[in-house]
């Protein structure tokens, strides 16, 4: 037993009385017996997850607790691993979208879009203006649907029940629209290399206008329930602070990075689809705490609504897809494309060997990089802070484990 | 009837009321929360789903009485009873009308708070005996919460006791009879508004309601102390939570809202005969407000909650007791 993992403290492995084997603890976690008079106390190590209401999926976090205080935390992943990247190597390019929908199952349009853009760039396909417009519109609807879900689940993490059900009302309206356009409520498979699968059916613009006319009062309700709430503020302000240097060092993107004041949004820095023609702001935070991450997300909802208003003001004419061959055979080469998904920079690194199957497809999962920081961000807080901090990172395990 | 038989019958009636109340309150909670949350709530079993909770009780009764292998056998079995029995005992001294009460103690107020302070011991016991880390944290939270909020809860009712000059719940209600200036009911909430405010907060915390539901804290501790419990043992804990809710509101009604009295109709025979109904309506309004809070607010954090108790509630309630005593003495002199 000379495994380094056992040498978890400076004193060497700890052998408790009556035990034959040293306690096997994961890296980073220590079990420290401390003498208080005659009583030996030790830190409590608890498993948060994989079955826990607040880990947003099958995430497993080991917490080392001193009373209520979290001394160390270690995330352990892989419970939802389905081998999506490997499976993609045996799918034709048209078919990969269905797999990617199941990676980030809350914002499928964005993952599909990143992949379609990768294939288009390799094959040098010119995407029609109408298709770009449809992609942008659907991506923004999907972003709001994802962000309101975040507001709801984040409310749940702080113990506020109604927000979750209130946000479901908005999400329902948006998912209905997505279903009417794409045919599916979550696994869209809508964005394909070359364009999209279909034009808007009749009545969608009217549906969107109805939604836009009511949504502002609904967003004000969230402010009453959460943002301005006397309990919610102290629960989130100054909690789970991640400074800008740490955020950049961990490769964080999306709202958690922008909450630190870093102006980085793929839609602005490397515009794709029709974003270059849209007029929108990138909401920024300053403290990098849970409250700022929440505020950035809610501000992004309002920006996305503004974008949808601009988009439906001028519907372009034309084809919804370019003429593409039935079997896509991108020339040999590799390409990296990125989109701003609701969780951050979602990238696809696609390597093609010239055949009809991707040689290698790698997904840069934004939530994976955002989650990596929890080991540092949770330490020092309370259990309740750990739950809130984890919730504020807006992780989707399907995309992290892939 | 022999006195023994009377005691047995009264106790059984109290138990029956408690169980019925529990079933009604759980149904009410589900419906109230559902409508606050833009949902419908139970609507399948019976008209408007009224038999849903009865069926849930039947389900809980028919479940296996499961005990985790590593749990402490006796403490694990005892804990639900220790949670349930005190809230039942508190029921017995509540007066529903001048004549409707199970037992009339001349130290009623003291008795209610004394027996209710057993409940967190049961919760701690459940958390410890479960031999689960999340349960243990929940149990320890209950202990910390209990120590912090018991003090302001007791201090907050002292003003009422001073006004009525008695610890007897019946005397307290009867001294709230009459009207001020011809239209204001002489309920103790008016002179004791701060006392009522302190009582309401401390009672929310004592009966483990949102935003103070620390020992359960679903999103943090899964279900805290009740984690390893299932079947009717869980049912007892759940029932006790609701009967504590009822007791808190009943005590609040008795102390601050004139119990079974209708303002201005204290000597009306019909109004007195309707006393129990008046009392129940007032209690259920209080419970509705508590459910409203539960369906709206986020949960406070444990350290914020404890510092709120020690730094705000306890000094405030102490100061209020002293100030009110001086005022009362000055007015009566």
Lowest mean pLDDT among A114-118, A222-226, B117-121, B181-185: B181-185
| The pair of three-digit structure tokens given for residue B247, joined into one six-digit string | 């007791």
Domain extent listing, chain A: 14-76, 84-401
Residue B315: the pLDDT is 92
Interface check for B143 against chain A (CB to CB < 8 A): the answer is no
Query: What is the three-class DSSP state of A172?
Result: helix
**Cα A274 from Cα B258, distance rounded (Å):** 68
Other Cβ atoms within 10 Å of B282 Cβ, number: 22
Interface check for B201 against chain A (CB to CB < 8 A): the answer is no
Contact A257, A245 (CB under 8 A): no
What is the pLDDT confidence band of residue A7, given thresholds at 50, 70 and 90?
very low
Q: CA end-to-end span of chain B, whole Å?
A: 49
| 3-class SS shares of chain B: helix, strand, coil, % to 5 | 70, 0, 30
pLDDT tens track for B99-130: 777 777 888 888 888 888 888 888 888 888 88
Q: CA end-to-end span of chain A, whole Å?
A: 34
Strand-pair partners of A35: A40
Q: How far is CA B90 from CA A368, A385, B244, in A?
A: 53, 36, 9
| Location of structure tokens 């138990």 | B15
- Binary contact (B296, A225; C-beta < 8 A): yes
Nearest C-alpha of chain A: how many angstroms from B247?
A: 25
DSSP code per residue over A112-164 = HHHHHHHHHHHHTPPPPHHHHHHHHHHHHHHHHHHHHHHHHHHHHHTT-HHHH
- Binary contact (B299, A158; C-beta < 8 A): yes
**Cα A301 from Cα A27, distance rounded (Å):** 39
Q: Report the alpha-carbon angle B134-B140-B146, nearest 5.
A: 135
Residues of chain A in contact with residue B135, where contact means CB-CB under 8 angstroms, are: none
φ, ψ at B210 (rounded to 5°) = -55, 140
Across A152-227, the runs of DSSP E, i.e. the strands, are 191-192, 195-196
Contact B106, B166 (CB under 8 A): yes
pLDDT at A126 over 50: yes
Other Cβ atoms within 10 Å of A99 Cβ, number: 23
Residue A39: the pLDDT is 61
**Cα A240 from Cα A392, distance rounded (Å):** 9
Residues 6+ apart with CB under 8 A from B69: none
Residues of chain B in contact with residue A53, where contact means CB-CB under 8 angstroms, are: 218-219, 222
**Cα B42 from Cα A306, distance rounded (Å):** 39
Nearest C-alpha of chain A: how many angstroms from B295?
A: 6
Residues 6+ apart with CB under 8 A from A351: A333, A334, A358, A359, A360, A361
Low-confidence ranges of chain B (pLDDT < 70): 1, 215, 217
From A205, A212, A171, select the one nearest A306 (Cα to Cα). Answer: A212
Residues of chain B in contact with residue A152, where contact means CB-CB under 8 angstroms, are: none
Query: Rounded to the nearest 10 degrees, how much is the dihedral formed by the CA atoms of B124, B128, B129, B133?
Result: 130
Radius of gyration of the CA atoms of chain B, in A: 20
What is the pLDDT confidence band of residue A114, given thresholds at 50, 70 and 90?
very high
Residue A16: the pLDDT is 47
Residue A27: the pLDDT is 53
- CA–chain centroid gap for B29, Å, is 14
Interface check for B311 against chain A (CB to CB < 8 A): the answer is no
Q: How far is CA B35 from CA A162, A166, B180, B205, B290, in A?
A: 10, 11, 38, 24, 15
How many A/B residue pairs have CB atoms within 8 Å? Answer: 82
pLDDT at A11 over 50: no
Q: How far is CA B155 from CA B151, B161, B167, B202, in A?
A: 6, 10, 13, 10
Give A84-401's CATH code, choosing from 3.30.460.80, 1.10.645.10, 3.50.50.60, 3.40.190.10.
Answer: 1.10.645.10
- Binary contact (B211, A159; C-beta < 8 A): yes
Task: Give chain A's mean pLDDT.
Answer: 84
Nearest C-alpha of chain B: how many angstroms from A67?
A: 8
Interface check for B205 against chain A (CB to CB < 8 A): the answer is no
Mutate which: B41, B137, B301, vs A, most A CBs within 10 A: B301
Report, as an integer, the average pLDDT of A283-290: 89
**Cα A43 from Cα A65, distance rounded (Å):** 6
Nearest C-alpha of chain B: how many angstroms from A196?
A: 35
Q: Which of A159, A229, A384 sits opposite B210 (nearest CB)?
A: A159
Lowest mean pLDDT among A150-159, A333-342, B11-20, B74-83: B11-20
Residues of chain B in contact with residue A231, where contact means CB-CB under 8 angstroms, are: 211, 297-300
> Residue A154 class from Cβ within 10 Å (0-12 exposed, 13-18 middle, 19+ buried)?
buried
**Cα B286 from Cα B280, distance rounded (Å):** 10
- Binary contact (A229, B299; C-beta < 8 A): no
Signed CA dihedral, A194, A196, A199, A200: sign only: negative
Q: Which of A46, A156, A165 sits opposite B219 (nearest CB)?
A: A156
Residue A6: the pLDDT is 41
Report, as an integer, the average pLDDT of A364-375: 89
**Cα A339 from Cα A341, distance rounded (Å):** 6
| Location of structure tokens 């269905």 | A98
Q: Which of B137, B217, B297 sits opposite A231 (nearest CB)?
A: B297
Q: Which residues of A116-153 are buried (b: 16+ CB within 10 A; e: fewer)?
A: bbbbbbbbebebbebbbbbbbbbbbbbbbbbbbbbbbb
From A396, A397, A391, A399, select the one nearest A155 (Cα to Cα). Answer: A391
Most distant CA pair in chain A: distance in Å? Answer: 82
Residue A138: the pLDDT is 92
Contact A61, A375 (CB under 8 A): no
| The pair of three-digit structure tokens given for residue A322, joined into one six-digit string | 């370019």
Q: Supply the pTM of this predicted model.
A: 0.85
Cis before A349 (ω within 30): no
Across A19-114, the runs of DSSP E, i.e. the strands, are 34-36, 39-41, 44-48, 60-66, 69-76
What is the pLDDT confidence band of residue A40, given thresholds at 50, 70 and 90?
low
What is the pLDDT confidence band of residue A33, given thresholds at 50, 70 and 90?
low
> Residue A66 class from Cβ within 10 Å (0-12 exposed, 13-18 middle, 19+ buried)?
middle
Residue A146: the pLDDT is 92
Query: What is the three-class DSSP state of A277?
Result: helix
Residues 6+ apart with CB under 8 A from B66: B230, B231
DSSP 8-state assignment for residue A262? -
pLDDT at A22 over 70: no
| The pair of three-digit structure tokens given for residue A27, joined into one six-digit string | 């890296």
Chain A interface, Cβ < 8 Å to B: 44, 46, 52-54, 65, 68, 155-162, 165-166, 169, 225-226, 229, 231-232, 234-235, 382-385, 387
Question: How big is chain B, counted in residues?
Answer: 333
Nearest C-alpha of chain A: how many angstroms from B73?
A: 23
Residues 6+ apart with CB under 8 A from A402: A81, A82, A83, A84, A85, A103, A363, A365
């Amino acid at each position: 037993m000379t495994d380094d993992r056992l040498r978890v403290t400076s004193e060497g492995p700890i052998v408790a009385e009556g035990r034959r084997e040293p306690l096997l603890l994961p890296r980073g976690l220590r079990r420290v017996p401390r003498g208080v008079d005659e009583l030996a106390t030790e830190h409590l190590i608890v498993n948060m997850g994989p079955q826990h209401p607040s880990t947003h999926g099958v995430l497993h976090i080991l917490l080392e607790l001193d009373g209520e205080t979290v001394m160390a935390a270690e995330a352990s992943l892989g419970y939802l691993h389905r081998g999506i990247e490997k499976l993609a190597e045996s799918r034709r390019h048209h078919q990969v979208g269905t797999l990617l929908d199941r990676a980030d199952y809350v914002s499928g349009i964005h993952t599909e879009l990143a992949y379609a853009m990768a294939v288009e760039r390799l094959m040098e396909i010119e995407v029609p203006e109408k298709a770009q417009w449809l992609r942008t519109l659907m991506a923004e609807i999907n972003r709001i649907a994802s962000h309101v879900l975040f507001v709801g689940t984040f409310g749940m993490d702080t113990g506020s029940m109604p927000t979750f059900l209130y946000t479901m009302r908005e999400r329902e309206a948006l998912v209905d629209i997505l279903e009417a356009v794409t045919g599916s409520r979550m696994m869209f498979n809508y964005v394909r290399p070359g364009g999209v699968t279909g034009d808007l059916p009749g009545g969608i613009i009217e549906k969107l206008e109805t939604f836009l006319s009511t949504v502002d009062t609904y967003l004000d309700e969230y402010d009453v329930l959460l943002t301005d709430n006397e309990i919610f503020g102290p629960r989130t302000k100054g909690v789970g602070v991640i400074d800008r240097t740490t955020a950049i060092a961990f490769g964080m993107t999306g709202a958690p990075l922008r909450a630190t004041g870093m102006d980085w949004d793929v839609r602005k820095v490397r515009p794709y689809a029709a974003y270059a023609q849209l007029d929108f702001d990138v909401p920024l935070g300053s403290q990098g705490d849970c409250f700022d991450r929440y505020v950035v997300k809610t501000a992004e909802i309002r920006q996305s609504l503004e974008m949808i208003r601009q988009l439906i003001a001028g519907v372009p004419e034309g084809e919804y897809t370019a003429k593409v061959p039935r079997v896509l055979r991108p020339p040999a080469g590799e390409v990296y494309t990125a989109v701003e998904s609701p969780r951050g920079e979602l990238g696809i690194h696609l390597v093609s060997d010239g055949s009809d199957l991707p040689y290698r497809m790698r997904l840069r999962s934004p939530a994976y990089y955002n989650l990596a920081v929890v080991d540092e961000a949770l330490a020092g807080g309370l259990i309740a802070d750990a739950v809130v901090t984890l919730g504020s990172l807006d992780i989707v395990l399907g995309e992290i484990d892939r | 009837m022999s006195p023994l038989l009377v005691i047995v019958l009264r106790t059984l009636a109290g138990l029956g009321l408690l169980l019925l109340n529990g079933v009604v309150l759980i149904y009410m909670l589900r419906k109230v929360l559902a409508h606050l949350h833009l949902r419908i709530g139970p609507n399948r079993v019976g008209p408007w789903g009224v038999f849903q909770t009865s069926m849930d009780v039947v389900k809980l009764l028919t479940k296996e009485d499961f005990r985790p292998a590593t749990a402490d056998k006796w403490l694990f079995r005892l804990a639900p009873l220790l949670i349930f029995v005190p809230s039942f005992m508190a029921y017995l001294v509540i007066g529903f009308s001048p004549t409707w009460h199970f037992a009339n103690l001349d130290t009623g107020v003291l008795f209610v708070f004394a027996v209710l302070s057993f409940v967190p011991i049961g919760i701690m016991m459940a958390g410890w005996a479960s031999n689960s880390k999340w349960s243990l944290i929940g149990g320890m939270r209950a202990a910390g919460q209990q120590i912090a909020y018991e003090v302001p809860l007791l201090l907050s009712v002292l003003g009422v006791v001073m006004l009525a000059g008695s610890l007897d719940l019946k005397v307290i209600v009867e001294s709230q009879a009459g009207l001020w200036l011809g239209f204001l009911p002489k309920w103790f909430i008016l002179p004791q508004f701060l006392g009522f405010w302190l009582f309401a907060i401390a009672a929310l915390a004592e009966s483990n309601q949102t935003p103070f539901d620390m020992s359960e804290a679903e999103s943090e501790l899964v279900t805290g102390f009740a984690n390893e419990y299932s079947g009717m043992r869980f049912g007892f804990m759940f029932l006790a939570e609701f009967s504590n809710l009822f007791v808190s509101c009943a005590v609040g009604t008795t102390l601050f809202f004139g119990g079974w009295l209708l303002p201005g109709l204290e000597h009306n025979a019909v109004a007195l005969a309707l006393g129990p109904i008046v009392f129940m309506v007032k209690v259920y309004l209080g419970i509705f407000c508590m459910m409203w809070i539960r369906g709206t607010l986020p949960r406070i954090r444990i350290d914020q909650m404890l510092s709120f108790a020690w730094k705000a509630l306890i000094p405030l309630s102490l100061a209020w007791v002293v100030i009110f005593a001086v005022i009362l003495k000055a007015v009566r002199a």
